[in-house]
Every structure is written in C-alpha cells, then in structure tokens.
Amino acid sequence: MTPLSSPEPPEPGESTSNADESLVGEATEQAAEHQREQAAPTSGGEVEGLPVTEEGGEPEAATAPMPPADLTGEPTADEEVAPEQVEATAEAAEAEGHAEGTAAGAGGAGQSDPGQAGPESPPVAEAMASAAEGVQPEPAADPEPEPEPEPVDPTSPASADELRLGLLDVLKTELGEAVVGAHIRDGNDLWVRVTPEAWREAAQIAKGKLGCRLFVFLNAIDWMPSPYGRSENSGFDAPAATGEGGIVTGYAGGDTRFQVFGRVHNHEKGYGLILKVDVAEPEVGVPTWIPVYPGANWHERETWEMFGIAFSGHPHLVHLYLPTGFEGHPLRKDFPLLAREVKPWPGIVDVEPMPDEDEAEAAAEQPATEEPAQ
Amino acid sequence: MTVTESQKLAYVAGQAAEARVNLEIETEGMTLNLGPQHPATHGTLRIVAKLDGEQVVACEPIMGYMHRGYEKLTEVRTYPQVTTLVNRIDWLGHFANEVPFILAAETLMDIEAPPRAQWIRTIFFEMARIANITLFLGDMGVQLGALTPVFYAFRDREYVLNQMEAVTGGRFHPNFDRIGGLRDDLPKGWIADTKAVMDKVRNFCDVMEDLLVGNEIFDSRTRGIGVIPAEVALGFGLTGANLRASGVDWDLRRDQPVGLAWNEVDWKVWTHPDGDSFARYWVRLQETREAAHIIDQLLDNIPAGPVMAKVPRIIKVPEGEAWVSTENPLGEMGYYIVSKGDLGPFRCKIKSASFNNISVVPWVTRGVYVPDVITILASLYFILGDIDR
C-alpha cells in the first residue's frame, strides 16, 4: 500500500506540530494515544505488523536491515533503545511529532498549537520521558506506531465505510502519490486532498471513474485565524495568532493557508466527495476545472475575487460580484469586516454567560460535544 | 438518459451560434442590455446579450447587484444567529434555507431533532416549496404576456404564508428552525386549517394547468425552447426541477433523506425528458401538487412528543467539517460548515441553487431569439438573493 509511497512530502508543512505535547507531557501523551487509537483501525495491518518487529527485540540490528521502514523506521528504533543519543532521538521525536500532527489532522482532531515552542524542546522532553519509562511495554507501543503508520494515515483514514473506502482506493490507484490526505465520516462523506498538479486529473477521475457527473460547488478556505477575532463576542476569543503560525487545517490535512475545495456528486449511486487542494501561491493557483465541469466557471471566478486565488487556464477570470476596481479579497481572514469595526454587534447580549444552573445543565450535555475539541 | 431530437437541436443551434461568432460575418452585431431591472429577473440581474439580427450569439449575465456577503457575515455570527441571515437567501423559500444549515450544525454536534420536530420541519419545508413555486407558476405566464395567472398565484400563495405566519409569526422570515428542533409547537386547529389550504393549492394547480398548459401561445413559446440536455445540466451543476426537466431522476428528498420525514410518506419524483422551458414548467407544476400531497399525509401522522431535543444553552459546535444539502424549492441548497469549536462557524460556504442554475444561461441562450431569452430565464427560475447571497 502506501506506507512507502507517501513518506515525507506531506510532512514538512505539518510541522505545525504539538506544542501541547511539551506543555502537558504525560496527559497529552495519553490524549494523543487516544487519538491514535481512533486512527489505528485504519491501518490495522501496519500497526500490528510493527510491534511484532519491536518485540522481536533486535532493535539495534533492526536499524540496519529495516529496508521497508526507511527514514522513519530508523529513528524509532533509536529512540527505543538508545535514549542517550539525545540528538537522534530528538530527530525521531520530531518526526513523530510531525506524523502525529498528520494523524490528528486526518482524525479530524487536529487542534495543535503550532510552533511557538521550537521543535527542539518538546522532543527532548519526550525523549526524557521515554528514557524514564524504559522498556515498559505501554510506551514502547507508544512511540512505535507513530513514525511508521503515520505516513499511511493521511491517505487511509479510519473507517468502516466500505463504499467510501472503495472510492478512495480508486482515487489512490489512479493518482498514486498525488493523493496526500483523506478523511471519511462513516456513511456521510469523503474528503480527499490531492496535490495541485493532480487537481484537474482528480476531477476527471471523479467524473469518469467514480461517476460523479454532477458538479456541486467549488470554493476556498482561508485557514488563517482572523486577526480581528469575533468582534461581537470579543471576550470569548481574543485575536488569535496571525500569519502562518496559527494555521490549523481541517479534514484531510493541509500545508498551506489557502485551500481550494470542491464537491462533486454521483446522482445515480447517491454519493459525493469533497476534493481539496493546497494552494501554496495564490497568484499561481491551481488548474481550472472548466474542461471537466463547465459549471466550475463562475465558482472559480467567485473564488478568485473573494480569495485572490488564480485558476490557470480559466478563460475569463474577472470579477463576478464585485465592482471592477474593487481592491482586496473579502473572504480572506485578514480582510476586515468594517461594519463590525465601526459598530459593535448588538447580538453580544445573547452569548453572555448564562446563570449557574444552566451552566451545569450545559456541562452535563457537554462531554460528547467537548471531546473532540480537547 | 436518452438524447431526444430537441436536445440534439439545441446542440446544433449552439454550434451554429458559435460558428457565427467565429466567422465574423459582415452583419454588424448589436449589444443588448437586459436589466438590471427586468420583470423576468426577480431582483436585479443584468444580462448583456450580443445579437446577430434577432438571434443571440453570446450572452453574459452580470450579477452582484444584491451581493450581501453572507459568507463573510456568518463568520462573525453565532450559529443561532446565522438562521436569520440565511432566511434571506431565497426569500420565497424562506424556511427551506434554514433547514440545511441547522442540519449541518446538528451533524457536527451529533444531535438529532425529535421525530415531531422532523415532521413539522418537513411540513414547513414543503410549504415553503409551495409558497415559492406558486409564484413561479403564475410568473411564467407574465413573461409570455398573460397577466391573469400571477394574480391567482399571489392570492393562493397568501393562504400558505398565512399558515406559516400562524405558527412562526413571520410571513417571509420565519426563523423558526433551531439546532435540536423547532422554536415552538403547532397552535391548536392549525392542522385542519392547513388541510383546507392544501385543497386550495391543488385547486390552484388545476387552474394553472387550465390557463397555461395546452394554451397555444404558451406551447409555441416554450416547447423546444431553451433545451438543456442532461449531460450539460449535470456539468453545470443544475439541480432541482431544472435537472429533473432534463430527464435526470434525482431528488435529494428521496435519494438523501437527511433526518427529515419524506421517507415516511408516499410520493413521486416527477421528471420530463424534453429539457425545454415547457418541461421545467410542467415539472414544477407537478411538484407543487406533490408537495400538497406530501403535506396532507404528514399532517395525518405527526408523531407526538417534544419539538426540541436537549441541547446546551450555549451552543458550541465541535471541531470538524460538514456538508449537508437538501432539495430546496429552487434546487440543491447546501452548507459547508467548518467549525473550530467556536460559537460561530469558522467558514461557511453557502451553495445556493440559483447560482448553479443560472450559470447555464450563456450556454443555453446561444442561438435563441431575443424574446426567448426572457422565457428561458423565467423557466430556469431563479431568485436573485439565491444567486448573489
């Protein structure tokens, strides 16, 4: 499958890793473990396969002759056996951090607080932790599955949804490494992230091989947290981090601030899928979908004017809604909503904290809803 | 999905129009501006058509006169506040706009409305459909010079709106749907009243059929005009009656019932193979009847119980992404919500039906006569608020 096929490429941008790991140490580790458990069933094969080699217990030897687990496999073994080599371990842990970030993204719980704690400090801490824990089987399994199956994870999400796993398989066989992320909500929906080069090809496959002939929509997301916060309930969320630092992408992961996403539907079989693509440089953008779905024309124009994302090959990329001379891209998060800046939203009253009994009531309701937010 | 004769002709007409552009024949072209204030536009849609004689060779809709930036506004609203906004997207199908948004939020929160709420939602959804489409059924006559139907339409739509008002307090903007259920239960005596109104709706459909369908002028102005083959309709993302009028048997109410009660009753999805303006009118006419039929059955069997599930007082939607769409009066309407665990959406992509439906206009108007542009626009049936959002 893909453990080898998608090794590093998705990782580097993922360095938006887990600062919380360093902060909360043990507790978070457990949380992470929990996440991994959620993600695990996917790649059951890989996960199980690995511990065996580990327990087989020739880790030193393993470093050399572990050809399938190239880069990522080695550090694991190092970390396991030789915690003294802090640098090596740090590397491993870092890799692990990346991988975990990806896993979290794929699991839909990607709420990591990115890199203000440099990559150095958390891994060291982790190395210490693993050193302290020694050979205890539990943590042994802990660092274990991460470096290895994580590269797999982004494109093979945990799911029991045969139909959507099948769709994903078709896309993966056709596109190969161009599929860099996927997420399935069982019985509901499928998210697939592809590389920009494969963006149009993915649409062609969706239309030709998956029968998704109905074009639904195409648009973009700006993942940067708004530097202005929500002006109507400002006490709740102070302006979040600006710039690349604060970016946390959603289902199927992502490496860039902007993502274009589109949905196509198979009206005969009754399923659809959401395709996503990273947009590294908005001015360059991604290839247009018009040759595949003519209806993408206006959607791309809208995306272009609202986000400033270009579509190469689009014949008529001009303003759709806004006046011709309009400056700025309104749906970007750093475009201020002036009406809110000028006059605070009166709706603020509605969201003020409620009396105590309601809080308790809400708290009783919460666990289910709070859980993924962590 | 067979390609009929008239669909082939549509292709030929389009190709002929393109050939004319390419050859740049001697005749001097003319640019005709329709709108932005045109009765056929249900708002302010401007259409710039390049003509060759009496025929359109290229046509470019220009919109944005009513762009209100709802996608941006949702980012500074809380979830319960967003329903107020989305009410105003398709202002004739008011309640139907709220439902997919609420369902998307419920999907993320893993909440399901109680059965009674689901049934009442479905009833209101279909009433919104009737309120929306009755206007189309009358308005189509106006575009062809027949003024009478639209007065009947306004009169009979009011009966439906009165029933909505009796429950929600609003004729046009009910804002009645809540995450987890509905704001209120039905008032006493409402069910019997509504049944009487459904009789009026059926009667209205019969009247429209008498007045327009089979009328010689109506037939000659709509049959074979504005033909959209199924494959083109799919590629442009047409949905709703426009797609079904092209022979595609696809209705989200049947094919993707998302927590609403359509599966509980007996009804039929109407399609028409022709794909022309007449087919679009005919399909909507049947759909209105069918909607009345659905409501009648639902009214007979509303389950008892609460109309509101237990939800937190302060609604925070957990992190995640969800896409939910429903079969709105104008076609598929959906919301793609990205939540970061906040009080409001991080990003809310509003996919409205009319935007896709109208994007086929440049394709379908190639080679048609100028007066037919009006009937084609009218038959595609769009609401400007639903295009511009």
Q: Pick from A19-28, A109-118, B1-10, B347-356 the range whose average pLDDT is largest.
A: B347-356
| Cβ-based contacts of A219 with chain B (< 8 Å) | 336, 349
Structural domain boundaries, residue A277: 159-342
Residue A239's pLDDT is what? 44
Cβ–Cβ < 8 Å for A252, A277: no
The C-alpha atoms of residue A303 and residue A317 are separated, in whole angstroms, by 10
What are the tens digits of pLDDT across the range A34-86?
A: 544 444 444 333 433 333 333 433 434 333 334 443 434 344 434 444 444 44
Residue A107's pLDDT is what? 38
| Cβ-based contacts of A261 with chain B (< 8 Å) | 336
Contact A250 B312 (CB under 8 A): no
- Of B293 and B145, the structure prediction assigns the larger pLDDT to B293
Q: Give the mean model confidence (pLDDT) for residues A298-309.
A: 89
| Cβ-based contacts of A108 with chain B (< 8 Å) | 319-321
- Among A48-57, A234-243, B139-148, whose mean pLDDT is lowest? A48-57
- Of A134 and B86, the structure prediction assigns the larger pLDDT to B86
Angle ∠(B133,B134,B139) on CA atoms, nearest 5? 95
A14 φ, ψ (degrees, to nearest 5):
-70, 0
The C-alpha atoms of residue A239 and residue B267 are separated, in whole angstroms, by 51
Domain end, chosen from A121, A153, A185, is at A153
Mutate to test the interface with B, among A321, A333, A341 (most CBs of B within 10 A): A321
Q: pLDDT band at residue A355, thresholds of 50, 70 and 90?
A: low
Contact B236 A347 (CB under 8 A): no
Residue A374: is its pLDDT beyond 60? no
Looking at this protein, which amino acid is placed at residue B371? Answer: P
What does the mean pLDDT of chain A come to? Answer: 61
* Residues A265, A200 share a domain: yes
Cβ–Cβ < 8 Å for A80, A189: no
* Residues A211, A144 share a domain: no
Length of chain A: 374
* Residues A313, A179 share a domain: yes
Q: pLDDT band at residue A153, thresholds of 50, 70 and 90?
A: low
Residue A109: is its pLDDT beyond 60? no
Domain end, chosen from A90, A118, A153, is at A153
Contact B319 A111 (CB under 8 A): yes
How many other C-beta atoms can be found within 10 angstroms of the C-beta atom of residue A341?
Answer: 10
Residue B261's pLDDT is what? 83
Identify the burial level of A243 via C-beta atoms within 10 angstroms of its C-beta, where 0-12 means exposed, 13-18 middle and 19 or more buried: exposed
Residue A136's pLDDT is what? 41
How far is residue B267 from each of residues A267, B293, B294, B329, measured CA to CA in Å? Answer: 19, 7, 7, 16
Residue A33 lies inside a defined structural domain of this protein: yes
Beta strands in chain A (DSSP E): 179-185, 189-194, 214-222, 258-266, 271-279, 286-287, 311-312
| Cβ-based contacts of A250 with chain B (< 8 Å) | 319-321, 338
- Tokens for B162, please give them: 């009165």
* Residues A130, A164 share a domain: no
* Residues A181, A70 share a domain: no
Contact A214 B237 (CB under 8 A): yes
Alpha helices in B302-369 (DSSP H): 353-358, 361-364
Contact B338 A321 (CB under 8 A): no
Domain end, chosen from A110, A127, A153, is at A153
CA distance A365 to chain B (A): 6
* Residues A138, A229 share a domain: no
Cβ–Cβ < 8 Å for B166, B193: yes
Which residues make Cβ contacts (< 8 Å) with residue A109, sequence separation at least 6?
Answer: A35, A38, A372, A374, B319
Contact A293 B73 (CB under 8 A): no
Residue A110's pLDDT is what? 35
How many other C-beta atoms can be found within 10 angstroms of the C-beta atom of residue A57?
Answer: 12
| Cβ-based contacts of A231 with chain B (< 8 Å) | 76
Say yes or no: A269 contacts chain B, CB-CB below 8 A: no
Cβ–Cβ < 8 Å for B309, B330: no
* Residues A277, A208 share a domain: yes
| Cβ-based contacts of A350 with chain B (< 8 Å) | 78, 80-81
A window 186-215, beta carbon within 8 A of B? 188-189, 191, 213-215
Nearest CA to B375 out of B61, B207, B145 is that of B145
Residue A108: is its pLDDT beyond 50? no
Q: Pick from A41-50, A233-242, A333-342, B314-323 the range whose average pLDDT is largest.
A: B314-323
The C-alpha atoms of residue B333 and residue A301 are separated, in whole angstroms, by 20
Contact A294 B235 (CB under 8 A): yes
* Residues A224, A283 share a domain: yes
Contact A368 B388 (CB under 8 A): no
Residue A366's pLDDT is what? 52
How far is residue B290 from each of residues A303, B156, B193, B196, B287, measured CA to CA in Å? Answer: 37, 16, 19, 16, 5
Cβ–Cβ < 8 Å for B306, B114: yes
Which residue of chain A comes nearest to B316, CA vs CA?
Answer: A369
* Residues A92, A21 share a domain: yes
Out of A226, A236, A297, name the one closest to residue B343 (CB).
Answer: A236
**Could you tell me the domains of chain B?**
78-359 (1.10.645.10)
CA distance B320 to chain A (A): 6
Say yes or no: A46 contacts chain B, CB-CB below 8 A: no
Identify whether A282 is preceded by a cis peptide bond (ω within 30 of 0).
no
SS3 B93: coil
Where residue A184 sits, what CATH number does that domain have? Answer: 3.30.460.80
CA distance B67 to chain A (A): 7
Residue A216: is its pLDDT beyond 80? yes
* Strand-strand pairing, B177-178 and B347-351: unpaired
| Cβ-based contacts of A217 with chain B (< 8 Å) | 237, 334, 336, 349, 351, 356
CA distance B112 to chain A (A): 13
What does the mean pLDDT of chain B come to? Answer: 84
- Tokens for B265, please give them: 């009753």
Contact A188 B107 (CB under 8 A): yes
Identify the burial level of A87 via C-beta atoms within 10 angstroms of its C-beta, where 0-12 means exposed, 13-18 middle and 19 or more buried: exposed
Cβ–Cβ < 8 Å for A54, A144: yes
B351 φ, ψ (degrees, to nearest 5):
-100, 110
* Residues A135, A256 share a domain: no
Q: Pick from A156-170, A244-258, B129-143 the range whose average pLDDT is largest.
A: B129-143
- Tokens for B72, please give them: 């941006």
Contact A353 B314 (CB under 8 A): yes
Say yes or no: A355 contacts chain B, CB-CB below 8 A: no
Which residue of chain A comes nearest to B339, CA vs CA?
Answer: A250
Residue A142: is its pLDDT beyond 80? no
CA distance B337 to chain A (A): 11
Residue A358 lies inside a defined structural domain of this protein: no
Identify the burial level of A105 via C-beta atoms within 10 angstroms of its C-beta, where 0-12 means exposed, 13-18 middle and 19 or more buried: buried
Q: Give the mean model confidence (pLDDT) for residues B129-148.
A: 86
Out of B76, B236, B313, name the one closest to residue A215 (CB).
Answer: B236
Nearest CA to A62 out of A71, A80, A74, A47 is that of A74
- For chains A and B, what is the number of CB pairs under 8 angstroms? 157
Cβ–Cβ < 8 Å for A295, B351: no
Residue B289: is its pLDDT beyond 70? yes
- Of A73 and B33, the structure prediction assigns the larger pLDDT to B33
Element (H, E) at B242: helix B241-244
The C-alpha atoms of residue A318 and residue A202 are separated, in whole angstroms, by 25
The C-alpha atoms of residue A108 and residue B383 are separated, in whole angstroms, by 36
| Cβ-based contacts of A294 with chain B (< 8 Å) | 232, 235-236, 363
Q: Ramachandran region of residue A335, left (φ > 0), alpha (ψ -120 to 50) or beta? A: beta
Residue A195's pLDDT is what? 86
R_g of chain A, CA atoms, integer Å: 23
Residue A54's pLDDT is what? 39
How many other C-beta atoms can be found within 10 angstroms of the C-beta atom of residue B269?
Answer: 16
The C-alpha atoms of residue A252 and residue A219 are separated, in whole angstroms, by 16
Contact B340 A248 (CB under 8 A): yes
* Residues A166, A218 share a domain: yes
Which residue of chain B comes nearest to A329, CA vs CA?
Answer: B72
Cβ–Cβ < 8 Å for B36, B377: no
Out of B320, B322, B356, name the one closest to residue A295 (CB).
Answer: B356
Residue A322 lies inside a defined structural domain of this protein: yes
How many other C-beta atoms can be found within 10 angstroms of the C-beta atom of residue B25?
Answer: 13
Q: pLDDT band at residue B51, thresholds of 50, 70 and 90?
A: confident
| Cβ-based contacts of A235 with chain B (< 8 Å) | none
- Terminus-to-terminus CA distance in chain B, angstroms? 33
- Of A169 and B95, the structure prediction assigns the larger pLDDT to B95
Contact A217 B388 (CB under 8 A): no
Contact A361 B72 (CB under 8 A): no
| Cβ-based contacts of B250 with chain A (< 8 Å) | 214, 267-268
Q: pLDDT band at residue A266, thresholds of 50, 70 and 90?
A: confident
A window 293-332, beta carbon within 8 A of B? 293-295, 297-298, 306, 319-323, 330-331
Out of B110, B250, B349, name the one closest to residue A267 (CB).
Answer: B250
A326 φ, ψ (degrees, to nearest 5):
-60, 135
Nearest CA to A249 out of A353, A111, A49, A371 is that of A111
Residue A304 lies inside a defined structural domain of this protein: yes
| Cβ-based contacts of B313 with chain A (< 8 Å) | 354, 358-359, 361-362
ipTM for the whole predicted complex goes beyond 0.95? no
* Residues A95, A195 share a domain: no
Residue A127 lies inside a defined structural domain of this protein: yes
CA distance B262 to chain A (A): 16
CA distance B25 to chain A (A): 24
Nearest CA to B364 out of B3, B1, B9, B4 is that of B9
Instruction: Give how many domains chain A has, as a whole number.
Output: 2
Contact B347 A248 (CB under 8 A): no
User: Percent of chain B having pLDDT more than 70?
Assistant: 94
A window 169-188, beta carbon within 8 A of B? 185, 188
Say yes or no: A274 contacts chain B, CB-CB below 8 A: yes
Residue A6 lies inside a defined structural domain of this protein: no
- Among B23-37, B227-241, B272-286, whose mean pLDDT is lowest? B23-37
Residue A244's pLDDT is what? 43
Beta strands in A142-257 (DSSP E): 179-185, 189-194, 214-222
A window 103-142, beta carbon within 8 A of B? 108-109, 111
Q: pLDDT band at residue B283, thresholds of 50, 70 and 90?
A: very high
CA distance A204 to chain B (A): 12
